[in-house]
Structure 1
Amino acid sequence: MDHSRLDVETDGREKNLAEFLAMMDNYTPIIPDAVTDYYLSRTGFDCDDVRIKRLLALAAQKFVADIATDAFQYCKVRQSGNRRTGKERKTVLTMEDLSTALAEYGVNVKKPDYYS
């Protein structure tokens, strides 16, 4: 590989990263900065760069949105088998739907015995 080509690719990536981080200055994630700061401090993460913290908040937001979308799909599949003709039912997300979606991401949720 030509060194000049590698330098151009590296410069392009650095420019894209710099532009992306600049956008994070003006981006307001759904998860407030104070909430992000609280949980990051509990894990021992120490960073003064608000852009990095907002990037982590955006990743958390995406993670939760993906789980919610998957749980909704499980709910639709489950309710499609229970649908009665002539009567529309409301979509009701259950803990079973959420637990199944979370399991795909390696999060195991077990209902306490006293709820059985």
Structure 2
Amino acid sequence: MRPVVFSIYHNRFEKMNSGSMNSGDGEMGMGASGEGKTAGQPLSDFLLHLEDYSPTIPDAVTAFYLQTAGFETTDPRIIRLVSLAAQKFVSDVANDALQHCKTRGASQTSKTSKGKDRRYTLTMEDLTPALADYGITVKKPHYFV
């Protein structure tokens, strides 16, 4: 159900941009039905959809970290918006780490994984360069034996 919400907004944004660029009538966001939309209408629609959205990161966790950082809000839509942004950030970092793992694994060919689907493991070796792309430096701790 969650990807549908994203695709609805993606398609609406494309329709709004293509309608305003191609129509030439000066109305911003003139849709196929002929109704004009203001510049803030897609944002208010998005905020209305956030009320029904349940993010992967729970609201209580996001609210705790927002409160720890000194941010106070009573609007649950703001908390869900921050949860959605955090979810996208984690997803982007995980995807980048997977790409690093695939490129590193492409140079190392193993005989056991040629015929079957390969399983990938998230390691610090892959996560460190993915986080470095976002300006986050991760250093391995010193291990004492």
| Bucket of the pairwise TM-score, normalised by the shorter protein | 0.7 to 0.9
RMSD: 1.8
Unaligned segments of structure 1, at least 5 residues: none
SS of residue matched to 2:94: helix
Partner of 2:53: 27
Q: TM-score, normalised by structure 1?
A: 0.85
- Unaligned 5+ residue runs, structure 2? 1-25, 30-36
Q: How many residue pairs end up in the alignment?
A: 108
Following TM superposition, the consecutive aligned residue runs of length 4 or more in structure 1 with deviations greater than 6 angstroms are none
Quick one: distance in 2 between partners of 1:66 and 1:112?
25
Q: What is aligned with 2:42?
A: 16
How many angstroms does 1:114 deviate by?
A: 1.3
For residues 86-105 of structure 1, what are the structure 2 equivalents within 5 Å?
Answer: 87-88=112-113, 90-105=119-134
Shift of 1:80: 1.1
Quote the sequence identity (%).
48
Q: 1:13, 1:47 → 2: CA distance?
A: 25
What letter matches 2:62 in structure 1?
T
* Higher relative helix content: 1
| Superposition TM-score, scaled by structure 2 size | 0.69
The structure 1 residue matched to 2:71, chosen from 34, 38, 45, is: 45
Q: Deviations over 1:32-73 (max 9, x none)?
A: 111011000000001111101100100000000000000000
Aligned partners of 1:45, 1:99: CA distance in 2, in Å? 29
